[in-house]
Amino acid sequence: MTGLPSNPDPQATTRTAGTAIATAIALAVLLLVDLIAVVVLPRPITLRGPGALADVIPELQHFVEHARGLRFHHNVDIRLSNDLGALNTGLSEGTGAGAADAAASQSAVLRALGMVDERYNEKAAAQSLNSQVLGVYQPRTHRLMVRPGPITARLRITLVHELTHALDGEHHQLVRKTKSIRPDESGTSFRALAEGDAMWVESRYRATLSAADQAGATAADGPAPTGIPDALLLLAAYPYAAGRAFIEELVKQDGTDAVDRAFDHPPITSEQILHVDRYLGHDRPRVVVKPVPEGRVVQRGVFGELLLRLMLSRSLGADPARRAGTGWGGGRYVAWRSGTSVCVRGTLVMDTAADTDELVAALRQWATSRPRARVTPSPGRSVMFDNCVDA
Ligand SMILES: [Zn+2]
């Protein structure tokens, strides 16, 4: 999979899987660039007949409308497909002659950051995640696809999730064409908003089910995907888990109107998703001087609080990494190839001098087990780090 999109015609999609972690197709957003899809549509299958999906849709639509305080104005085009994972494969493989090279560079960048080790196999990881996709909503066509099967609690939960995307798609612009290909966090933050809303409604629906149905749905989710490093699982789960917490906080403060306002004025950084007060306080990221590469650039972009947290968590543990990332003011990174190495350099600016000291100490701890890593405090509450690994 490639970090940077290779297809110029973005078709944003939003997906659901059984659990927050399993939902993740977002592995391709490793450096926080949203997914670009080339979608081959499966043939439509009739939904009519006894016990068919069509029988349960009205009730589920009604639930979603009530939870969100919005109405459907159009029929959602619902189709069945056994091959939702295949929709992902096209996304994550990348295309063109440079795809293999880009994928190798991406793995090396993740190793340089310390998020994965040499055993990481991104193809196997992508397959493991793809196998967990249960539903897909395509904002551009207002079409929803789910795996066929008996009408179980798990399928109803999936439909509620996807119908929430569909309802949001009627009332708000979900296809954010230009923003989704920017190498910053605006696309990922928008995904967290959309997935967070669907997860929030889904969780409310789940709570209305009997204990037996809830247990059945959880069992049907199955185990989390295997062979994926923790940092990448957390990254993949981020739009769902952090997005849901963000929505819950908005609703607590001002009901679902606050969610609609957020779609009109979306969060733009992971800092705003992770700390809703930063979003409500209109906290903008600070301008950061771009770090200078020393070879052929393979990736560059914004280095957000989320990535900082994930980078540090494997060396420091989750809580110290979260504390070190708090106070993020802005950040950028660049990765380049130099001989047989891939190197990454990041510049981070923190809100206060104390935040900066805390981050420098955390980065130095991160660097201790990495012989080629350097940490350089710089003027203006900023700090630079770099590291290289063999590609
Ligand atoms: Zn979703």
3-state SS string for 127-149: HHHHCCEEEEEECCCCEEEECCC
Same domain, 250 and 300: no
CA 14 / ligand 1 centre spacing (Å): 5
CA 145 / ligand 1 centre spacing (Å): 12
Q: What pLDDT sits at residue 85?
A: 59
CA 287 / ligand 1 centre spacing (Å): 32
- The identity of residue 73, as a single letter, is H
262-to-13, 192, 280 alpha-carbon distances in Å = 19, 11, 9
Same domain, 305 and 165: no
CA 198 / ligand 1 centre spacing (Å): 6
Task: Evaluate whether residue 289 is within a structural domain.
Answer: no
Same domain, 226 and 348: no
Q: Give the pTM.
A: 0.84
Same domain, 375 and 228: no
DSSP class of residue 284?
P
Same domain, 263 and 344: no
CA 90 / ligand 1 centre spacing (Å): 18
CA 95 / ligand 1 centre spacing (Å): 25
CA 133 / ligand 1 centre spacing (Å): 10
Q: What pLDDT sits at residue 44?
A: 38
CA 380 / ligand 1 centre spacing (Å): 40
Please report how many Cα atoms fall inside a 13 Å half-sphere around the Cα of residue 207, on the Cβ side. Answer: 8
Average pLDDT of the chain is 80
Buried b (16+ CB within 10 A) or exposed e, 157-178: bbbbbbbbbbbbbeebebebee
Task: Evaluate whether residue 1 is within a structural domain.
Answer: no
Same domain, 114 and 84: yes
Residues with CB under 5 A from ligand 1 (ion): 14, 16, 195, 198
Domain boundary among 242, 274, 306: 274
CA 190 / ligand 1 centre spacing (Å): 12
Q: What pLDDT sits at residue 176?
A: 64
Same domain, 95 and 228: yes
Q: What pLDDT sits at residue 391?
A: 84
Task: Evaluate whether residue 338 is within a structural domain.
Answer: yes
Nearest Cα neighbor of 363 from 354, 350, 376 is 376
Same domain, 220 and 355: no
Same domain, 300 and 236: no
Sheet of strand 328-338, all strands in order from the earlier edge strand to the far edge: 296-302, 328-338, 341-350, 382-390, 374-378
CA 303 / ligand 1 centre spacing (Å): 25
CA 267 / ligand 1 centre spacing (Å): 17
272-to-110, 188, 242, 330 alpha-carbon distances in Å = 24, 11, 10, 12
CA 113 / ligand 1 centre spacing (Å): 28
Q: Bridge-partner residues for 371, per DSSP?
A: none
CA 243 / ligand 1 centre spacing (Å): 11
Same domain, 133 and 257: yes
Q: What pLDDT sits at residue 86?
A: 55
Number of domains, the chain: 2
Task: Evaluate whether residue 283 is within a structural domain.
Answer: no
274 Cβ partners below 8 Å, 6+ apart?
242, 246, 305, 306
Task: Evaluate whether residue 46 is within a structural domain.
Answer: yes
Q: What pLDDT sits at residue 58?
A: 92
CA 77 / ligand 1 centre spacing (Å): 16
CA 162 / ligand 1 centre spacing (Å): 6
CA 16 / ligand 1 centre spacing (Å): 4
Residue 375's domain comprises: 296-390
CA 390 / ligand 1 centre spacing (Å): 37
Rounded Cα gap, residues 95 and 366, in angstroms = 34
Same domain, 140 and 107: yes
- What stretches in the chain show pLDDT beneath 50? 1-50, 88-97, 177-180
CA 161 / ligand 1 centre spacing (Å): 6
Rounded Cα gap, residues 242 and 16, in angstroms = 15
CA 15 / ligand 1 centre spacing (Å): 4
Task: Evaluate whether residue 2 is within a structural domain.
Answer: no
CA 245 / ligand 1 centre spacing (Å): 15
Same domain, 30 and 162: yes
CA 120 / ligand 1 centre spacing (Å): 26
CA 342 / ligand 1 centre spacing (Å): 34
pLDDT in tens, 47-60: 444 457 788 899 99
